[in-house]
Amino acid sequence: MKALLVSGLAANAAGAGAMLALHARAGLDPMYDVISTYAFHPDGWLLPTSLTLFAVGGVLTAEALRRAGAGRWVVALLVAWSVSMFLIGAFPTDRPGVPLSLSGGIHRYAAFAAFLAMPAAGMLLARTRTRYAKAVRVLSGIALGALVLVVTPYVVRMVGIPLVDGDIPAGLTQRVVVITEIGVLAIVGLSMLRHSAVRAAQRSQGGVSPILA
């Protein structure tokens, strides 16, 4: 299980590095430009690369949780998040002003599924004896709150209420969701890695350590 956790954390770190490199090179406004638009930059290949690495990290962490005895809903939600992250990268969004295409639709709804799945998994994990449960709960709550702000412009426009561009900093709220969700995944991985080391030490001394404690 240690190999799974280390590999998962490494994949997440590499994904974060690719995402930061893309932001540094693109020169877009992180306050209002959503992450999806970075795909149209010359270095846009870093976006699907980053998202795929996050997906790999999520799957590896989910498998580690499964082996540790985590609930099937937690594992299923993490797998759903990972699949959604891969789809977000594999199916780019449409350019501004272009009607919604099949690729753009898959991208949009996969993003919504991912943004919802991780905080749901975090809230379920926070109810167990997972280390740093409070931090997981707080980050999951922030992610859910930011998600409401992310979807608000879409809902407002659907009901026909005009919305002035810039009323809600879409880029900022989206990044809050992404950062907090990657934070949840990292905390879970680090917590389990630490727990694995503690269990190994206790076994060598004849002690017992509860799963996910």
pTM above 0.75, yes or no: yes
Instruction: For residue range 95-145, list pLDDT tens digits in order.
Output: 888 898 999 999 999 999 999 999 999 999 988 766 788 899 999 999 999
Is position 60 within any domain?
Answer: yes
Is position 210 within any domain?
Answer: no
Is position 213 within any domain?
Answer: no
Is position 111 within any domain?
Answer: yes
Query: Residue 79's pLDDT is what?
Result: 97
SS (H, E, C) the chain: CHHHHHHHHHHHHHHHHHHHHHHHHHCCCCCCCCHHHHHHCCCCCHHHHHHHHHHHHHHHHHHHHHHHCCCHHHHHHHHHHHHHHHHHHHCCCCCCCCCCCHHHHHHHHHHHHHHHHHHHHHHHHHCCCCCCHHHHHHHHHHHHHHHHHHHHHHHHHHCCCCCCCCCCCHHHHHHHHHHHHHHHHHHHHHHHHHHHHHHHHHHHCCCCCCCCC
Domain range for residue 83? 2-204
Is the pLDDT reported for residue 162 higher than 80?
no
From residue 147, alpha-carbon distances to 16, 56, 126, 189, 211 in Å are 20, 23, 19, 23, 31
Is position 44 within any domain?
Answer: yes
Is the pLDDT reported for residue 209 higher than 70?
no
What rounded mean pLDDT belongs to the chain? 86
Query: Can you tell me the mean pLDDT for 37-43?
Result: 92
Q: How many domains does the chain have?
A: 1
Is position 209 within any domain?
Answer: no
Is position 69 within any domain?
Answer: yes
Is the pLDDT reported for residue 156 higher than 70?
no
Is position 211 within any domain?
Answer: no
